Amino acid sequence: MLLIRGCVTGKRMSGLILQVEGLSTHLGSESEPVQAVDCVSFEVRRGETFALLGESGCGKSMTALTLMRLLPSSGRVVGGAVLFEGQDLLKLSEADMRRVRGGGISMIFQEPMTSLNPVLTVGQQITESLTAHRGLRGGRARSEAMELLQAVGIPDPYQRIYEYPHQLSGGMKQRVMIAIALANEPELLIADEPTTALDVTIQAQVLELMRSLQRDRGMSIMFITHDLGVVAEMADRVAVMYAGQLVEQASRNEFFTEPKHPYSQKLFDSLPDKDKRDRQLYVIEGFVPSLQTEFRGCRFAPRCHRAFDRCRGEEPPRTTVNGRQVFCHLYGGDSLAAEAGPVSTPGRPHGGRIPLASKAALLRIRNMKVHFPIHSGVFRRVAGYVKAVDGINLEIPQGHTLALVGESGCGKTTAGKGILQLIPPTGGSVIFAGQELTTLSHAELRSHRDDMQIIFQDPYSSMNPRMLVGDIISEGLRAQGRAAAPAQLQARIEQLLDQVGLAADSVARYPHEFSGGQRQRISIARALAVDPHLIVCDEPTSALDVSVQAQILNLLKQLQDDLGISFLFITHDISVVAYLAHEVAVMYLGRIVEQGSVEDVLDRPRHPYTQALLSAVPTMDVDSGRDVIRLVGDMPSPSNPPSGCYFHPRCPAAMAICRDRYPALTRLGNGHETRCHLYRADPGA
């Protein structure tokens, strides 16, 4: 064994491309450092995919930046070694390290739009790397750039090299990042959350691309993510990180068959799925501790349901259990583990659900359209329309959740804003509680605003950073003229905070003082303040970790049970839909292509687009052997949709009629309906 700065590490092995030994990285001041990476040891073997898994703030990305020697100005390595092909990267000069970054190790960053230079073309950004590291210039560099774009599956590379990042879709931007990373044929590719912001169909394309490139080039991949489904699909081995330390390492099959560390076990318990619909998701109480803390004992102990006295006062040993490493006192080899709590703590059952047949429609939408004019020329004449929402029909009963799913750009968010009249519909009918909203004036709409609220995707950008939380929550009450005497108003705010699980003293704090999950709870409290009957939830959990997502989903479900609130839940996360929704509507290019109960749509999808969406969702069943339906290309522009069925250019089951005529509605029974020529249309639809 090796001992580096008090950290026990493994023996140096052959067949490894990367060996990290006792790595520690601090940020900030010397007196009160942030221990971003603390005594981390792991290995990446040649040709394998090594997944680094954990919640936001646990140190995953900082580990990768340390390996690449790309730390921020306040960052410093205080211990350990990083051996790449036997060479310690921490001892190299910056000039030598640049050569390693170019040819030995490449990195794909989490957000491609902020990683790509907006003022340089795609071709310039790829050839920059080719020129710096391989000496290619001019026509040779452009030719190589086009070959790289073709290799990562970007159509028409001869044109794309002259385009700018803003002209590409999210999936294409991520492919460009992969092309840049592969330009110099690296031995190791570090991918930092490369699919977090992508739809499931684009995510499936990117993951398959990375797998095929790995097979063709024999490179190793270090995959950083918080998505357990992606880990199950991609990884050969898994390491779980918590508060700057690795708490478990195992092969993929071992980890998904029987996770050992309590933190790993609770991550699995927090995941939503249809089998947990009748009970609350397990929530890991508390938060990841500040990495400025002077730790004593196990860092997970304050949140661990199995913690006992030793956990709180003594750092756990790094124990090898059947060939896998676990950083936990439960596996220390003595009888004290008998003091631990139970292995499993299932979530509490939910209250009774309101049956669908017992409630009339609270919201009824008929043929709603939201078209945006395209202006051109000096006189700004209307040259066409972006048909963001193009004639949709929806109904939501009181106390029920309708999930609206589809890829980015399909019109989901615009539909939600059109329903609330935040964007005026250009056609159709929106009837809420018997009242037609599209004919109301602004003054008349204002009186209905307390009945309908919205929770935005990004809670931080939807709140005024200069306002205290108490003022943010009470703003709607004041706007609706419902603010009572100061004492009553304060009591109402405290009641709302308690309802969403926040402390009463939160009223005197600013949004930046809260975590992402807490800010989303503030957004929910603000929406609840005016006692709405309908809340439009626009991707409210997409940016949250698994454990925080569980808190928000539990809260929304409990509020629906207690208050009978209806939700329009806009999302592309199918597992959330399976857990939360009563009905599902699948949207493609501004139109609903399939709709029905959550059981019918998710278990028996009929439209080829729905089938493709569901097939692309990562599964944690490592032996599923499922077939992913690969969709060709990206969604067409809503300003110039294809003739006939909008989906036919990408549909694996397209027929001649699909190119000529948009399909009529087919009712399949039990409220399940679709628009597809594969099924006989209802003559009366």
Is residue 660 domain-resident?
Answer: yes
DSSP label at residue 531: -
Question: Does position 264 have pLDDT exceeding 60, yes or no?
Answer: yes
Residues 168 and 242 in one domain: yes
The pLDDT of residue 99 = 87
Percent of the chain exceeding pLDDT 70 equals 92
Same domain, 146 and 288: no
Domain contains 326: yes
Q: How far apart are CA 298 and CA 301, in angstroms?
A: 5
208 and 68 part of one domain: yes
SS3 of residue 528 by DSSP: helix
Q: How far apart are CA 418 and CA 405, in angstroms?
A: 16
Tell me 513's DSSP state: G
Q: Would you state the pLDDT for residue 357?
A: 38
Nearest to 454 by CA among 580, 575, 582, 565: 565
The answer as to whether 525 is a domain residue is no
Give tens-digit pLDDT for 118-146. 999 999 999 988 888 788 888 899 999 99
* Local confidence band at 448 (pLDDT 50, 70, 90 cut-offs): confident
- pLDDT at position 274 over 90: no
To the nearest 10 degrees (0 to 180), the angle between helices 122-134 and 170-182 is 10
Q: What is the pTM of this model?
A: 0.83
- Are residues 229 and 310 part of one domain? no
Residue 110 reports pLDDT greater than 90: no
Here the CATH number for the domain that contains residue 550 is: 3.40.50.300
Tokens 């031995």 identify what position? 187
* Together in a domain, 282 and 391: no
Residues 41 and 161 grouped into a single domain: yes
Structural tokens at position 459: 């809670």
Distance (Å, whole) CA 278 – CA 353: 9
Integer CA distances (angstroms), 72 to 65, 76, 272, 306, in order? 9, 8, 36, 37
Residues 170 and 216 in one domain: yes
The answer to whether residue 163 sits within a structural domain is yes
Residue type present at position 383: A
The reported pLDDT for the residue numbered 626 is: 65
Q: Based on the domain organization, do 310 and 192 belong to the same domain?
A: no
Q: Which of 501, 479, 506 is nearest to 490 (CA)?
A: 506
149 in any annotated domain: yes
CA dihedral 177, 178, 183, 188 (to 10 degrees): 120
- Please indicate, yes or no, if residue 518 is contained in any of the structural domains: no
Residue with tokens 């056609």: 427
Instruction: Pick the last residue of a domain from 198, 232, 260.
Output: 260
User: Is residue 353 very low, low, confident or very high in pLDDT (cuts 50, 70, 90)?
Assistant: very low
CA distance 549 to 78: 34
pLDDT, position 39 = 93
- Would you say residue 452 has pLDDT above 90? yes
Query: Using one digit for the tens of pLDDT, what is the confidence trace for 236-248?
Result: 999 999 999 999 9
Beta strand pairing call for 566-571 and 401-405: parallel
Query: What are 389-410's pLDDT values in tens digits?
Result: 999 999 999 999 999 999 888 8
* Total domains, the chain: 3
Give the relative orientation of helices 469-479 and 486-499 as an angle to the nearest 10 degrees.
Answer: 110
604-609 mean pLDDT? 95
Same structural domain, 198 and 292 = no
Domain region containing 249: 2-7+16-260
Confidence of residue 622 (pLDDT cuts 50, 70, 90): low
Does 105 share its domain with 231? yes
Last residue of a domain, one of 260, 295, 319: 260
Confidence category of residue 382, pLDDT binned at 50, 70, 90: confident
Q: What is the pLDDT of residue 609?
A: 95
Residue 6: pLDDT band (50, 70, 90) is very low
pLDDT value of residue 12? 44
**Residues whose CB is less than 8 angstroms from the CB of residue 425 and which lie 6 or more positions away in sequence, other chains included:** 368, 369, 370, 389, 418, 438
Mean pLDDT of the region 56-77 = 91
- Say if residues 583 and 566 touch (Cβ distance below 8 Å): no
Q: Say if residue 26 is in the same domain as residue 92.
A: yes
CB neighbours (10 Å) of residue 577? 23
- Element (H or E) spanning 342, and its range? none
Amino acid at 655: M
Higher pLDDT, 172 or 240: 240
Residue 148 region, left (φ>0) first, then alpha (ψ -120 to 50), else beta? Answer: alpha
Whole-number pLDDT of residue 346: 55
pLDDT of residue 5: 40
Spatial distance between the Cα atoms of 529 and 492, rounded to a whole number of angstroms: 8
* pLDDT for the residue 658: 95
pLDDT 10s digits, 625-667: 567 787 877 788 888 899 999 999 999 999 999 999 999 999 9
> Do 324 and 392 fall into the same domain?
no
